[in-house]
Amino acid sequence: MTTPDNLDQRVRDSFAQIKVPDELNQATLAFIREYGEKQPAIKVQTRRTARPWLALAACLLVIATLVGGYSLWTRPTALLDIDVNPSISLEVNCFNYVIAATPLNDDAQSVLDQTPVVGKSCEAALEALAQSPALTIYSGGDALAEISVASDNEAQSNQLCDLAQDTFAPLFAQVSPTHVTFDEMQTAHGHRMGAGKYRAACLLMELDGTATFESCAEMSVSEIHSCINECQHGEGHGRHNGQGQGQGQGQGQGHGRHRQAS
């Protein structure tokens, strides 16, 4: 027979094995604290004669609630891709907090190294990115940004698209939010780009047979759309093979333009 003391020790041992990143701990505590402050005060009367099993049942209920809440906290319900030249993918939970951030290319790695976003609300994370010098060097002028959101929750998907649109609109000539599927996003990430940039690359490859995912991954969103416009007007065909002079010039000019605009 398992005594209350033995069960209590087993629960303690089980939880002692759980390792949680510090930033996620801090964000979770902040969320619980904020949630608790919004709840009405509840007066609880206790009886001195309460039996030990009643206290144990209450503890188990609290543990079950915390475990369920932790599971909800760590489960992504949406993915948000940001493509400029850096391509960043954010995992967002049902509370609209960022629980993971993945750099899809080297420029994105530099941005995330300088701008931590994990554990922040999505609004605070996007604002931090919009204010980060590591990202704003690619803004200004005719710079474009693609925002892609994948979620089974339509309300959350719309909310994240609107939030990203409002946050990045002051920085770029155009911000294009798009709803995509998780499968499409996974395919895009396999080519080291977000889903928005991936869609633009697919269109360019239809117009220019020499364009490849590899060449497009090295280009900014603005450069890809510029090449699309040229192809649609009968110019620039054949500029995007790996050895083409036009591609190298386009990349150099694109990077210089964005950096000078900072």
Average pLDDT of the chain, as a whole number: 79
Per-residue buried b or exposed e for 160-198, using 16+ beta carbons within 10 Å of the residue's own CB: bbebbeebbeebbeebbbbebeeebbebbbebbbbbbbb
Q: What is the pTM of this model?
A: 0.67
pLDDT digits (tens, 9 = 90+) for 168-226: 999 999 999 999 999 999 999 999 999 999 999 999 999 999 999 999 999 999 999 99
Q: What is the pLDDT of residue 233?
A: 86
Quote the pLDDT of residue 196: 96
Q: Of 201, 169, 164, 167, which is closest to residue 179 (Cα–Cα)?
A: 164
